[in-house]
Amino acid sequence: MDIRATTKADWMLLKHVRLAALLDAQTAFAVSYRTAAGYDRSQWEQRASSINTEFWLAFQGSRPVGMVGATVSESNRFNLIGMWVEPQFRGTGIAKSLVDTVKARSIQRGCDGVFLDVSPENTRASNFYLKLGFVFLDEWEPLESHPQISVQAMVWHSTRC
């Protein structure tokens, strides 16, 4: 398994994985499949190469099987976004490696932690993040793509000095 940051040339790979994620977990992301499927090539190229929002793909051989993103929010929080692994590769350590990549990037950027939003009803995801050292915050907001779903903030703090 290999994890690498996306570049402009990876736009089609990122599109493929992102759309698969949106079909698989339709109420887990801030954007809907319909919206993302409507992005044109230049929008996907920009997503794959942006310095504001970074994406990484996990590869099994030459095939991308997972993804994660990170961005700094308007409130200056380093946020993990877009986490997803193909169902047949869940439980193999790929998801942990993707999260570890985002944690390492947050430290490289001088951030003191990583934030994310998750629906507590998504127990698989919630338990996974808890095992990786994230804790729930008393912060709730509606999921942008499905406002009837409330997501709760979680944070992981670096133990560096």
Closest by alpha carbon to 118, among 99, 105, 104, 91?
A: 99
Percent of the chain at pLDDT exceeding 90: 79
Q: Amino acid identity, residue 85?
A: V
Q: How buried is residue 90: exposed, middle or buried, by Cβ count under 10 Å (0-12/13-18/19+)?
A: middle
Please tell me the distance from the alpha carbon of residue 68 to that of residue 80, in angstroms, as a whole number: 7
The total number of structural domains that make up the chain? 1
Residue 101 · residue 6 · CB < 8 Å: no
pLDDT bracket for residue 142 (50, 70, 90) = confident
pTM reported for the whole predicted model:
0.93
CATH of the domain at 150: 3.40.630.30
Q: Amino acid identity, residue 86?
A: E
CA 70 to chain centre: 6
For the stretch 6-54, pLDDT in tens is: 999 999 999 999 999 999 998 888 899 999 999 999 999 999 999 899 9
Listed in sequence order, the residues at least 6 apart from 56 whose beta carbon sits closer than 8 Å to its beta carbon are: 3, 4, 5, 6, 67, 68, 69, 98, 101, 102
Q: What domain range includes position 47?
A: 2-157
DSSP symbol at 122: -
Listed in sequence order, the residues at least 6 apart from 106 whose beta carbon sits closer than 8 Å to its beta carbon are: 70, 78, 113, 114, 158
